Amino acid sequence: MTIPGIRAILFDSDGVLVDSLEAAADAWDAWAARYGVDFDFRTQAEHGVRAADTVARLVDPAIFAEAVSALEDEEVAGSGATVAIPGAVALTSSLPAGSWCVVTSATRPLAVARLGAAGHPTPPALVTADDVENGKPAPDPYLAGAAALGIPIGECAVFEDAPAGVAAARAAGAGFVVGVGDHLEGAVVDAHVDDLRAASWDGGLVIAGA
């Protein structure tokens, strides 16, 4: 069915548009070994939050900036292993200009590298970890995404795969929240899809089975 009242889509990137899980895990493993940090990305990562917010809990403040930069270097270097979530490129390629924005907790260089590696068109608007004072689960990223499009957040649908992102979308006042995949951990969404093959655009957002 077509979701009423929706004029634009705000997409999280990792886990929604791109599958970067193994690439990210390899980067974090290399980083953790370099800094002597006891951290396993696959089992301990809080998905959907900024990497810098996680690093801040793991290293001494005196080396924080260096550690964040080193992690970004590792992640960008491994971004070529990123692939598209099924149906994602078809959806982003079909959307009219000004109707979608990517809102990610990744840094801008990393987001651009992963989206490009997965074959997505350049987003008409992109909000990254570099663009907001407070990352997800705060509402700031999704409010910034709606503002970048010039469309009220209540007329935007959000696609998210993580509890922190769903909380951010809810706090921002998103008009409709679509959960993607199987890592939502009980977060309450308006519709759930396994991947983006279930979503399309026909003058508005269409969700199969919703």
Residue 168 in this model has a pLDDT that exceeds 80: yes
- 4: Cβ–Cβ under 8 A, 6 or more apart, which residues? 204
Contacts of 107-110 with CB under 8 Å at 24 or more apart are: 107/51, 107/72, 109/72, 109/76, 110/72, 110/75, 110/76, 110/79
Q: If you ran DSSP here, which 8-state letter would residue 76 be given?
A: H
Rounded to 5 degrees, φ, ψ at 109 are -60, -40
Summarize the confidence of residues 125-139 as an average pLDDT.
Answer: 95
- Provide the pLDDT confidence category of residue 46 given band limits of 50, 70 and 90: confident
Report the alpha-carbon distance of residue 67 to residue 26 in Å, rounded. Answer: 16
Average pLDDT, the chain: 93
Q: How much is the pLDDT for 135?
A: 94
210 pLDDT more than 70: no
Residues 85-115: pLDDT tens digits?
999 999 999 999 899 999 999 999 999 999 9
Kindly report, residue by residue over 55-76, the tens digit of the pLDDT.
998 999 999 999 989 988 998 9
With bands split at pLDDT 50, 70 and 90, how would you rate the model's confidence at 150?
A: very high
Rounded Cα–Cα distance for residues 191 and 208 (Å): 10
| pLDDT value at residue 146 | 98
Active site residues: 12, 14
Entry pTM: 0.88
Q: What percent of the chain has pLDDT over 90?
A: 73
